Amino acid sequence: MKAGWEHFPHDADVGVRGMGATKAQAFEQAAMALTAVVSDPGAVQPRTAVAIRCRAPDDELLLAEWLNGVIYQMAVRNMLFSRFEVRLDDGQLQGVAWGEGVDVGRHHPAVEIKGATYTALRVAREADGWLAQTVLDV
């Protein structure tokens, strides 16, 4: 499976989906989809590295904790991200997000995320890779 991300419609909410050859890649791509809800990741320069670590008892809760970590950095540090790197090991995630502070003139933020509620969390092995998706109520 080629790594990638997409949004999908879900009533009034926004669905985000990450796909990858590994579960870690699927988590990386889900974070890219989340970032793209706010602004075009292609317009963000990877100037600053931010570490995000979390732990959860299952993959779906781990995905929610990971995305909460990304949102926290976006809201508290006023950051946007263009790249993620994730390592998963026995229910623990260690991730690095690369990005820069929001520049309203260059990034054209569509929304300002302060938090999100996740529904329909799903992390699944597919025939050719992994899928990590959720529906966001932002």
For the stretch 56-68, pLDDT in tens is 999 999 999 999 9
Residues 6+ apart with CB under 8 A from 5: 16, 17, 18, 19, 29, 30, 32, 33, 36
Q: Which residues of the chain have pLDDT under 70?
A: 1, 12
> What domains, with CATH codes, occur in the chain?
4-137 (3.55.10.10)
pLDDT at 19: 97
- CA 50, 65, 67, 21 torsion: positive or negative? positive
Q: Which two tokens stand for residue 46?
A: 């990877």
Model pLDDT, residue 104:
81
**pLDDT of res. 9:** 85
**Residue indicated by tokens 């602004």:** 39
Cβ pair 107, 40 in contact under 8 A: yes
